[in-house]
Structure 1
């Protein structure tokens, strides 16, 4: 039996007007002209025999029937959107689409991915390096790895690992600028603005204060970076001291490109978390295997807090 429904485009146009409050804003959302949106609503009104819009020379508003119908349509579209998203997420269990911060991708994940591919040859991984928080309802992503507080709305999060924070520099810089933590403010300090906020121990002033140290010179970084990869490279180049995150600098410490001149270390205020949409709980397929693999790799990573 054929469904007795008005044209879908007319419903979409009406819903867009109701949500945006105007025909022009609805047209922008739908990427069509205002006249096209208005015409679609007229088609809907004719089909249903009900007036939904009050049209004046300078304003368009909903009638009482329009408000009631808008609420019903909005609820239907919300349900449809959720069901579509749920179906999309269930379709392909063999593909992982990962969003990860660039520095962790470069300095931790990339060299380990071949291990996963060898263990699970039927599963594929697509990596997107990004700092942005992920809206899983709008992006075709399966999982994210982030550094932060670990609470993300609508998502499940599991701690991947903690790490240490300590000042580091190149061996060459240390030879020329041997100093104490009390006097480190007189040296060149590099600031990594990739992570954290001023009150976390990823900030020079906060880190020094938590050691109970009163510096002889004001703590004032001279270079600022928005990518940890850049901060690390500048430090390797002998530009000054940086607050090194043990996971990210472990390889450079092993190679000798960086050294830890001081014994003082602090556990980072911003651990790394695995994040995925709650709709994927319980875990299954490739996502389950990938998260279990991430945890195994994390457990044997040098530089983690044990």
Structure 2
């Protein structure tokens, strides 16, 4: 059975009057007469059988019944306005705000901005380096590309990519201080982009947990750790998504043939109501298409990159002589 709702126009008159605390200002906003607004409110009060507003000099104020009704009415009108705006938002023009993991934004997305601009020259992007879960519900952010376990609630999400982790180091550093076996890592500084869990996972797979007691720096996020590695300040953990470009350009090398799954994955996340916006769907489709193209180009191994993951490999320097 359909729920009986009050007429729309009296609700609009009530909401505008309560918001302005003035019949005159409400009439001006709705482009009707003062008397018309008063009439609509009286009709709503008669329909509900309660008093919603009372006069206080030149102003009006909510009764307890009015105070109870106003939040629901305001929320409903805000939702209708937002949905209408999304439906009329152009698919290939306008502004789009993206929150993205800093390392992914700097090392993967930024180099591909030319591709997006070439396809959609009339879309203006605002890119925010962040992995803050609060961004998912922030009204000024349209889409998030975040790193996590996918446990965000009451939102739309889709896994964008898993990733494998492996040590990376600058060619200059490894030439000056060779890494021939995993034990040689003891002579280097460990660069952490997280709380230490990722290096712990890799060292456990390498049977070298005792090396955790070595020198180390905690740098806050993967982007800073990778940048420090590029400058020769230690050994960081790269991943199969963000480090591929640096490996291909020779700015980093991966000395071992061991990689391990990352603790979490990359997800595309947005508020449920944003998923239906055409411009948002366009960006999401582009993001997945670019990832598919990048994966197809990565089929051929890059020098110094992990070829495959093994459970308990014999760690060696890639390119080093064997059987000596």
Q: What's the TM-score, normalizing by structure 1?
A: 0.70
Which string of whole-angstrom CA distances, capped at 9 and with x for unpartnered residues, describes residues 158-200 of structure 1?
122222100111122223142533563453111113xxx655x
Matched, 1:252 2:246: yes
Instruction: Give the SS at the match of 1:111.
Output: helix
Name which of 201, 207, 228 aligns with 2:202.
207
Tell me whether 1:75 sits opposite 2:76 in the alignment: no
CA distance in 2, matches of 1:181, 1:294: 36
Q: TM-score, normalised by structure 2?
A: 0.66
The residue that corresponds to 1:152 in the other structure is 152
Deviates more, 1:285-294 or 1:165-174: 285-294
Is the contact made by 1:182 and 1:215 (CA closer than 8 Å) also made in structure 2? no
Residues 100 and 146 in structure 2, CA contact (< 8 A), matched pair in contact too: yes
Q: Where in structure 2 are there 5+ consecutive unaligned residues?
A: 1-7, 23-52, 300-306, 309-324
Aligned partners of 1:106 and 1:188: how far apart in 2? 24
C-alpha displacement at 1:123, in angstroms?
3.5
- The answer to whether structure 1 residue 142 and structure 2 residue 142 are counterparts is yes
Q: 2:115 maps to which residue?
A: 115
Cα distance in 1 between the residues matched to 2:282 and 2:18: 44
In 2, distance between residues paired with 1:112 and 1:266?
27
* Whole-angstrom distance in 1 between the partners of 2:225 and 2:289: 28
Tell me the number of residue pairs that the alignment of Structure 1 and Structure 2 aligns: 252
Change in 2 beyond 3 A, CA 1:10/1:235: same
Deviation at 1:77, TM superposition (A): 2.6
Larger radius of gyration: 2
- Residue ranges of structure 1 left out of the alignment (5+ in a row): 12-43, 53-64
Alpha-carbon RMSD across the aligned residues, in angstroms, is 3.3
Q: Tell me how far 1:99 sits from its aligned partner.
A: 1.8
1:24-46 residue CA offsets vs partner (Å, 9 max, x unmatched): xxxxxxxxxxxxxxxxxxxx654
Moved more, 287-296 or 254-263: 287-296
